[in-house]
Structure 1
Amino acid sequence: MRAVVVTSPGGPDVLRVQDVADPEPGVGEVLLDVVAAGVNRADLLQRAGHYPPPPGAPAWPGLEVSGVVAAMGPPAGPTVPGAGAPAPVPALRPGDRVAALLAGGGYAERVTVDVSLTLPVPPEGDVVDAAALPEALATVWSNLRAARLAPGETLLVQGGSGGVGSVAVQLAHALGHRVLATAGGPERCARVRALGADVVVDHRAQDVAQAVRDATDGRGVDVVLDVLGGPALRDNVRLLAEGGRLVVIGLQQGRRGELDLPSLMARRGSVIATTLRDRPGAQKAAIMADVREHVWPLVLDGRVRPVVHARMPLADAPRAHEALAAGEVLGKLLLLP
């Protein structure tokens, strides 16, 4: 099969389409004929040599796909005594259409994935655009749960026009929360507002801290969902209300920052940081089971939808990485084999 491999750590030019061995589904896995693969910032880090795939994952990038079940691996055996109840999994058969969360390998014509990490795409659903959802839904849902976002609380999404941010805005709105978001430029702000944000701050033209204070009568927000990383740490803490929680899920602006401890302590706030890709399989299966139960119905009824910037051929992976790094993308880019 064809896959986009990283020939050596470096810039987008190191991505090459090459022939690689066809994958074989293992116990509890399905083989998918890939219809589309989502492009994520983690892929850029992997390409540059900063985010290696976990053991057992393919060497090429790709954390989410949509596709058609081509074959089934051997069924999983009984639960090991004392291991606890496994997360429920969907029953699949060849021909079914699914979206799937991967540890890697999505930039390819075929992938294998554990059944527990799939989401069913109904006949009337857009199987191509479904590739834009698994990673974002799992990331957003697991982190809103980690932040204990409660009814009546306010969420600020830093980077509301990105692949994760655009889903976070829609999901929090659908769940009834007041949503603030940041975006760059009038067009992006308008698009994020249309997704359900109550207040959108143009970080290129406005003082974000002042805008948040104005929007919350000086109180601040209960939860900040942040993709910016280290350099934004100090400012994000200052946006929190009393008892507020900052959840760091990305490092777009850098890996290191300064934490103003007196400011955090005065708010009785907390900082939470998570990753998704390197979690144990059982944890990811539990997250996806939660997504299937609580979030996927919102996708199926249209309240949360994929935001797709463009669909591109697999061979255009270098151009996709360049566009994402340059900040040109609103939502997700998809690669089509």
Structure 2
Amino acid sequence: MRAIRLHTFGPAENLTYEEVEDPRPGPGQVRVAVRAAGVHLLDAALREGMRGPLPEPTALPTVPGREVAGVVDALGDGVDAAWLGRRVVVHLGFVPGGYAELAVADVTRLHEIPPNLDAAQAVALIGTGRTAMGIVQFAEPGPGSVVVVPAAAGGIGTLLVQYARNAGATVVGLAGGPRKTALVRANGADLAVDYTEPAWPEKVRAHLGGRPATTVFDGVGGDVAREATALLGPGGRHIVFGWSAEGLRDGTPYLVEGVSEQVLGPVMLERAGGPDPLRTLELRALAEAAAGRLAPAVHRFPLSEAAEAHRALQSRGTTGKVVLEP
């Protein structure tokens, strides 16, 4: 099979497109003929040599990627034959191997793809979608809510805008540049604003006519977070799930005491509850999409162009979830 391999930590150019041995499923596993593999900012950080949330440092050489969707084409011992030929999506967890034409996964992690979704959309939901569902747990929007979403053209931002609108909230989506703000507007935001323009907060205040924001879902940090948080009224919530404006390596979030709440990691899982919190959130995201309430935006690259996909993602040249297609 063809796959992307990383032999040395470093820049995106270190991702190489190679012929490698086909994987074989072990007991309790299936093999998936991959139709789409998700790309995450964490993948780029791991490529550069960061350990991130992994329990052990990445062993090289490796095939990166932890989110795949496709068709089950082989079964390991003990797996129900009914899985063969089914369209599935799966998050591989801490095990890499997604940037490839074939990948193996534990059968207990599989989800069948709803009929109204293609493989790339399903991949967006299994990682980005579950994160979005984890975020809204901390400030469920509803009628009367005024929600501000920085980076509203991104994978998570797109879903947060849709979710809040479907819940009856007024939604302000922020994005960088006219192309991205047009996408945010088309995605259903009541107001789409270019946060690279100096007077953008005044545009938001004028549109709201004096109404304060009730929630800021913030994955950006920096000056955008500072100005967005200033739009909140008494009792408003600043839900922090990232700080991309400050960089992955040395950045820190923008936080306001008594207003801001960081929600990534164990905090999100504790809120989700149940014996398998991640699966709970995955199921919720897929159910929302199956019902037509979430429609993830996807930015597609051929598998062979994984390096370009990483460069585009890190330079904010993408919209929606970045996906590789073999």
Q: Larger deviation: 248-257 or 231-240?
A: 231-240
Once the two structures are TM-superposed, the CA of residue 336 in structure 1 deviates from its matched residue by: 1.7
Contact persistence 1:242–1:269 (CA under 8 A) = no
Letter aligned with residue 37 of structure 1? A
Please state if 1:50 is matched with 2:50: yes
Correspondence for 1:82: none
Q: Residue 256 of structure 1 is aligned with which of 248, 251, 255?
A: 251
In structure 2, runs of 5+ residues without a counterpart are none
State how far apart, in whole Å, the 1-side matches of 2:143 and 2:28 are.
Answer: 37
Give how far 1:301 is off. Answer: 4.0
Quick one: structure 1 residues 203 and 13, their matched pair in 2 at CA, closer, same or farther if it must change by over 3 Å? same
2:163 paired residue number: 171
Q: For 2:280, give the aligned amino acid.
A: A
The CA distance in 1 between the partners of 2:166 and 2:12, in whole Å, is 37
Say which SS state the counterpart of residue 319 (structure 1) adopts. helix
Given that 1:33 and 1:67 are in contact with CA atoms closer than 8 Å, whether structure 2 keeps it comes out as yes
Q: Take 1:153 and 1:213, find their aligned partners in 2: how far apart are those partners?
A: 15
Residues 1:100 and 2:90 are matched in the alignment: yes
Task: Evaluate the alpha carbon distance shift between residue 243 and residue 119 of structure 1 in structure 2; reply closer, same or farther with a 3 A threshold.
Answer: farther
Please give the alpha-carbon distance, in whole angstroms, between the structure 2 residues aligned to 1:102 and 1:323: 24
Asked whether the 8 Å contact 1:229–1:252 carries over to 2, the reply is yes
Distance 2:15 2:143 in 1: 45
In the alignment, the residues of structure 2 paired with residue 39 and residue 273 of structure 1 have an alpha-carbon distance, to the nearest angstrom, of 22
Q: CA RMSD in A?
A: 3.3
CA shift, 1:284, in A, is: 9.2
Partner residue, 1:3: 3
Task: Give the letter for the 2:309 counterpart.
Answer: A
1:144-293 matches, within 5 Å, as 144-149=136-141, 152-230=144-222, 232-254=224-246, 255-257=250-252, 264-265=256-257, 268-275=258-265, 285-292=276-283
Deviations 1:33-74 (A, max 9, x none): 211112222222221223446248884332322111234456
The alpha-carbon distance between structure 1 residues 94 and 245, as it changes in their structure 2 partners (threshold 3 A), is same
Deviation at 1:122, TM superposition (A): 3.9
3-state secondary structure, aligned to 1:201: strand
TM-score (norm 2): 0.81
Question: What is the distance in 2 between the residues matched to 1:30 and 1:272?
Answer: 36
- Are 1:42 and 1:51, in contact at CA under 8 Å, matched by a contact in 2? no
Q: Which amino acid aligns with 2:40?
A: N
SS at match of 1:133: helix
Q: Secondary structure at the match of 2:245?
A: coil
Any unmatched runs of 5+ in structure 1?
77-90
Aligned to 1:79: none
Matched position secondary structure for 1:335: strand
Q: What CA deviation, in whole Å up to 9, does each residue of 1:130-168 have, x standing for no partner?
A: 323321110100011033445532221110111221122
**Against the structure 1 CA distance between its residues 18 and 183, is the aligned structure 2 distance closer, same or farther, given a 3 Å change threshold?**
same
* Partners of 1:231 and 1:8 in 2: CA distance: 35
In the TM superposition, residue 234 of structure 1 has moved relative to its aligned partner by 3.4
* Separation in 1, partners of 2:116, 2:201: 43
1:335 matched to which residue of 2?
A: 324
1:64 equivalent in structure 2? 67
CA distance in 1, matches of 2:254, 2:182: 32
Contact preservation (8 Å) 1:231, 1:256: no
Q: Is contact 2:67-2:126 (8 Å) kept?
A: yes
Count of aligned positions: 315
Say if 1:71 and 1:243 are closer, same or farther in 2 by CA, change over 3 A: farther
Which amino acid counterpart does residue 63 of structure 2 have in structure 1? W
> What residue in structure 2 maps to residue 35 of structure 1?
35
TM-score (norm 1): 0.79
What SS does the aligned partner of 1:274 have? coil
Identity over aligned pairs, percent: 34
